[in-house]
Each structure stands twice: as C-alpha cells, then as structure tokens.
Amino acid sequence: MENDFLAHLNPEQRGAVEATEGPVMIIAGAGSGKTRVLTYRIAHLINMGVDPYQILSLTFTNKAAREMKERIAHLIGDGARDLWMGTFHSVFARLLRREASKIGYPANFTIYDTDDSKTLLKSIVKEMGLNDTAYKASALLGRISSIKTNLMSPKEYLNDIQYQNEDRAARREHFGAIYETYNKRLYKSGAMDFDDLLYHTNILLRDHPESLLKYQNMFRYILVDEYQDTNFSQYMILRQLAARHLNICVVGDDAQSIYAFRGANIQNILNFQKHYADTQVFKLEQNYRSTKNIVNAANQVISKNRDQLKKTVWTSNEEGEKIRVSRAFSDSEEGRQIAQSIFDTRISKQASNKEFAILYRTNAQSRPLEEALRKLNIPYRIYGGLSFYQRKEIKDLMAYFRLTINHHDEEALRRVINYPIRGIGDTTFDKMIVAAADNDVSIWTVMENIADFNLPVQTRAIEKIKEFVTLIQSFTALLPDYSAFKLADYIASNTGIMKELYQDRTPEGVNRMENIQELLNGLKDFTEKDPEAEMPTLDKFMEDVALLTSEDINEGEEQHTDKVLLMTIHAAKGLEFNYVYIGGLEENLFPSQMAIMSREELEEERRLFYVAITRAKKQANLSYSISRYRYGNALSCEPSRFLEEIPADCVENIATYSPNESYSQSSFERRPKVFNVTPPPVSKPISLTNKKLVSLKKVTAGAPVDNSHLTGLAAGAKVEHDRFGIGEVITVEGHYPNSKAIVMFENGEKKQLLLRFAHLKVLS
C-alpha cells in the first residue's frame, strides 16, 4: 500500500521511478511531468528503506527544491526534512562550511554577489592604474567566471601561453594579474564568489581523498534536475561523487539547453551514455501542458537540429487554436498589435492579466511593448527587474549584517565604514588600504590593531575607527544568542541607519524606510517559519539570501498581482502561461546576428525558440516587423527563418493595416482592432512618407496565405512587394507552403522571400 502513489504515473514515468540502481537518464520533453517523476523517485527510495541523508538531489532554483520537498512530504511525511536537496550552489556552500578549514577558509565565509564582485574588480583596476574602459568590471567578471567554470587557477592561467597571447591580441595583457589579485582579495576577505562555491568543492574533492570518500559514501543516490544546463565544474563534481556507487539519475531535455553563454555544456547530456556504461534511458514524451497545435509546431521546429537526443513529444490535449503569426511595419506597431490582442483576448476569454506573457530575445525590445501596454492601461511587470535585495538601503543594512558575521569582508566594510557619517573619510580609509597591502593582512586587521600601525591620520579619526570596531564586535557577540530578527532590528537601530532614514521625509526617503521595514518583516517570517528547528540566527538568513537565484527573487509577486509579465525567453524557462506572445521574430534578432555563423550557435537559438513556444498552454502568438529601430536608425527586417520551420497546418497568418497617417494616442484609440477576422478590401501597397505609415495592406486571416493565384511567378517576372517595391524574380524554388523566391529589387537589394509571408503582387 505504501507505493500506491506510483499508480498515478504513466508507464514510462513509473519505469523511471522504479529503476533505482545504476546510472539512469530521463529525457523529459516540455510539460511531461519531470518534477513529479523526480519527487516520486525520491519518495520511492525512502519507502524502500534508503536513509534520506544518503540522497543528494540537485536543482537549479531554490523554488524548485522547495516545491519538491513539499511534494515529497505530502507523499511520505517528515522524511523529506533530512534530504540534501537544493541548488548546486546552496548544497555545496553547506558542504564547504563543514570542510572550510581544509581549503584555508573560515566556516563563516561571505558569499559575494555579482555587484560585490564588480565593485572589487573596479577597485583593483583603479589601484593598478588601468583604464576602466578597457578593463570593464562586467567583462572581467564574465571572463573570470568562464575560467573558474573550467577549473583553471590564476597560476595555471598565467602559465598558459595561448591565453597570454589571446590577452595581448585583445589588449588586455593585465587580465591575468587582475584575476590573481581578485582571488587573493577574496581569500583575504574570507569571501567566495558564486563560481568559487563549485570551484572550491572540486578542489576539496580532488585534494582531500578522505573528504571525497566521506561524501561518496554519504551520497549513495544522486539525482540531478535540468542536467542539460550543467557546466564543466558541475559535471566534475557529479563525476567524482557518483564514482563509487554509480547511482546517478539525471533528468533533462537537450531541446531546452539554452545557457551556453553561462557555461552550460549540452554535451554533458548528449554524451551521458558514453560517460556511464549500462545507462538505462527513459523518455517522457507525453506533454500535459500544451495543445496539439503547439506541441506539433514545437516538434517540427526542433527536429531541424542535428545535435539532439531523438524523442517524439505528443499530447492527448485538445487540438487548440492555431499559432498566430502577425506582421507589423515597425517595432512600435508590433507593440500596439500585441497590446491590442491582449486587451481583446482578455475580454473575449474572460482571462486575467497574469495569464499573459510577452517574451523577447533581448531586454532592449521591452520599450515599445511597455509603451503600448501603458496606453491601453494594461498593468504589467518586467520579470527579472531590480531585485528587492539590490536596493541601496537594503544593501547598506545587509552590509552591516555581513560584517557582523565576517569582520574581514572588505566590500561590506567599504560600504558602511562611514555610513551613516561617522568621521572616517576616504583619506583615512586609503591609508588603511595601503597598510593592509604592505603587511598582507585584511583592512579589518589594521583597524582592529590601529595603534600598532602608526598611521599618519588624526587622533580623532583613530578614535572613530576604534568606536566602529567596538560597535561591530558588540553585534558579533550577540550573534549566537539572538534570533535573526532580534539581532537585525538591534543592528538597524544602533548603527544609526533607522534614524537617518526616519529623518528623511521626502517620498523617496519614506519609500526607503518602508523597504527597511519590509526587510525586517522578512526576517521576522524567517525567524518564525519553523518552530521546531534550531534558532534561526542571522548568519543562516544571510546564507539563504546570498544563494537566491533570479527565479527565487521573482517568485511570489506574479502569484499575488494580476499583471502581464514581460521577460526574455531565457528568463521564461520553467514557466508556463495560457497566452504567450513572442515578438521580434526577425533575422539577425531572432536568431541573433551573433549566432548565425556556426551551426552550434544557430541550434542553440532554435532551442531557445522551442522553449518560447512550449511556454504556451492554450495560445501562442508570433510576430515580426518589417522595420525596426536599432541604434537610432530604422532598418529593414526579414522574417525569421524559424517561422518557415513551423508546419503550415499549425499556423494562422494575420497581416495588419491602419488607415491613419500617424499614430498619436487618439488616432491609435480609434483604429480598428488588430485581429479582425473580416478582411477589408485590399488597399494600395505600402508606401513610406517622412517615416510615417501611410497605408497598410491587410490579407485574409485564417489559413496561411494562398499564393496559388501567383501563376505567373517565375524567373524574370516583375513583382511588387509591400516594403521593397518593384523587383524582378531571379529564381523560384520549392512547393507551397514552403516555396521561396529570390528577387532583385530596383533599390539594389536582393532578397530571398518565403512566399507565404511575402505577399508579392505579380505585375507581368
């Protein structure tokens, strides 16, 4: 009876759950219930008598780990509490705190976020007297992240001739020295950046055989979600930990591998069977999320990729509406089309705003979309915008928290040593930096022993430094005995931050004060959420915050507010919506111009398009414009090649028109609805005058445009195109709906056009 819950699984899911021994790869198509399989597999292992402490389950978001724990607890009770489950970074940060002394770190090491790392790099570039334009912090951090992901130390980097030659050619010959200094400063501050959490775990397992054996025996069963997103560093950790028992189960979908820019290596999942002999493979191919039209379209698109694990996703859901493809004159018009369609659909379907999502390839595309939504008073939210924890007042107070936990945290110290103002100026601080560098100690060590360093600073400054040191030490003394909320409230009051914010009665000041109160509310919730657990202290809260992912930061708000969500497709992975709009489907935008030079990069772009389509449950809407502003110039655009890859029987083509010469707000409000099923008479072809839209041809909505009337379309034929004008056909190839024509236009442009989208008019 204890395994009755397995009856809720389909045969392939159940097989994947019950295959508990040896290496297992579960290829999970979009919407196929992979989270259910993972949770049931863990529950099944525990029911079989496996100690929860011996199960390591790794995810890519804390939200996913939390949901899985809740589901497992629902199935089997409190056993889920003892699982080692979480993100790679949270699990191995926990492990490193246990073993920190073996790699020369304190157990209370600080975890630097991206802003902390960039600030440190800016300081190093300034101290080295380098050009901060040539050595931008974001570019430096990106390269350091890539190098750490590939497990290369600063010493190895500096001894690598190829890297040194690359740096000289790129005029960044000081990069190796910056990387070395950056790592030394992290170490001196008792801090690790995000990549260090995995880098140092690899070092621990490599250099300390007793630790490797300990965790190999401890983690007898390893489960990994989203395996296609793992990088080399993560692969090596898993390889080492699983080597003893080989009970490793990975779940993923190569068709959704879209994070190569973060270091993810799709070869990890493609070659899993080569890495682990006797792998059992299970394919979850039934999609429970989307309609047949959406599933079939996505299947056809992704089938064009060469590097993939073959599967055929299917669904027993309804046929559903066809995928809508619409054309606009410009990116602004595209935004208006999308906003109007949301407005109409919301009314006709009685849908709430949060059922809609607008996806785009780059963040820069959001501007015209936001403008259009505002004009129709449609509430929206940018998913992945400024995090609550990135606000200045929050970072200021949390810097005090960090310094309380780890006195040597240099970035936290820099942030608050003179905030609120206490008389320790930049000149004094710079002299302490020099003293610390000369003596190879942390700045805090200099401050703690200020009298021994004989700094040439005023006596008043010396006294202020001593007062600051005493203040921080007094907070630290309370750390073991005070709850997270009680100590945070005490620190906020005794540093003077609360007083300073309270005295600022401007609207901005009031807002900052409210944010501090919200942070304290969060600490109160953290303190009270688990009465049976040991006292939740401030250091535990800070670790939770440091390991938040962007998905965790955004979690919750969309559930409690009725707003349309706007986001990049990368940010949308793992989410689902009833109605999805994907804008900017144009060559050189999607696929990106940077990706069309190699097959591997183009295939990743196609996987990204696959992810976008499969976010939709009921309706997918695709759009492109024939001109788009980039860098202040209006450029002509061509439809994305991905549109051609969608089967014609899955598509409903919708063209647009407008009777107005310009688009003031009032004229926009009077214009007819964008998606009107009754076709108007065909108007004259498009003409552009003073960059204003004069007229727009509208074609019949419904099935893909029928070009059977173009009987005269052959090499040598004169044709007219809405955007490019009059031209001569050079060649025609293929059969409708995939027929194409190459046309040389009078303006000198040669275009390859897919006829079902081109709307050509044969002149002779």
* Backbone conformation region of residue 408, classed left if phi is above 0, alpha if psi is from -120 to 50, else beta: alpha
Residue with tokens 């019950």: 18
In whole angstroms, what is the distance from residue 454 CA to residue 457 CA? 8
CA distances from 634 to 329, 333, 368, 581, 630 (A): 11, 13, 14, 23, 6
In whole angstroms, what is the distance from residue 331 CA to residue 626 CA? 8
The answer to whether the beta carbons of residues 36 and 47 sit under 8 Å apart is no
Decide if 427 is catalytic: no
Decide if 225 is catalytic: yes
Nearest residue to 607 (alpha-carbon basis) of 639, 569, 580: 569
Catalytic residue among 34, 185, 415, 628: 34
CB neighbourhood size of 117 (10 A): 24
* Residue 748 token pair: 């000198």
The number of CA neighbours under 13 Å toward the Cβ of 527 is: 17
The number of CA neighbours under 13 Å toward the Cβ of 334 is: 31
Decide if 615 is catalytic: yes
Please report how the helices 426-439 and 459-478 are oriented relative to each other, as an axis angle in degrees rounded to 10. 70
Decide if 630 is catalytic: no
CA 254, 258, 262, 265: dihedral to nearest 10 degrees? 20
In whole angstroms, what is the distance from residue 690 CA to residue 640 CA? 27
Decide if 534 is catalytic: no
DSSP letter for each residue of 603-666 = HHHHHHHHHHHTTEEEEEEEEEESEEEETTEEEE--B-HHHHTS-GGGEEEE------SS--HH
Catalytic residue among 116, 196, 225, 331: 225
In whole angstroms, what is the distance from residue 223 CA to residue 65 CA? 12
CB neighbourhood size of 277 (10 A): 9
Catalytic residue among 226, 355, 586, 603: 226
The number of CA neighbours under 13 Å toward the Cβ of 730 is: 10
In whole angstroms, what is the distance from residue 291 CA to residue 117 CA? 45
Decide if 2 is catalytic: no
* SS3 at position 430: helix
Under 8 Å CB-to-CB from 470, ≥6 apart: which residues? Answer: none
* Residue 607 token pair: 């996987």
Residue with tokens 């190829």: 162
Strand-pairing partners, residue 357, are: 565, 580
Catalytic residue among 188, 283, 615, 723: 615
CA R_g for the chain: 29
Catalytic residue among 59, 181, 256, 308: 256
DSSP letter for each residue of 377-410 = T--EEETT-S-GGGSHHHHHHHHHHHHHH-TT-H
* Residue 332 token pair: 């602004």
The answer to whether the beta carbons of residues 713 and 719 sit under 8 Å apart is yes
In whole angstroms, what is the distance from residue 323 CA to residue 19 CA? 38
Nearest residue to 200 (alpha-carbon basis) of 107, 64, 85, 86: 107
Tell me whether strands 627-630 and 633-636 are parallel, antiparallel or unpaired: antiparallel
In whole angstroms, what is the distance from residue 80 CA to residue 69 CA? 6
Catalytic residue among 20, 35, 164, 476: 35
At 736, the amino acid letter reads: Y
The catalytic residue positions are 34-35, 225-226, 256, 615
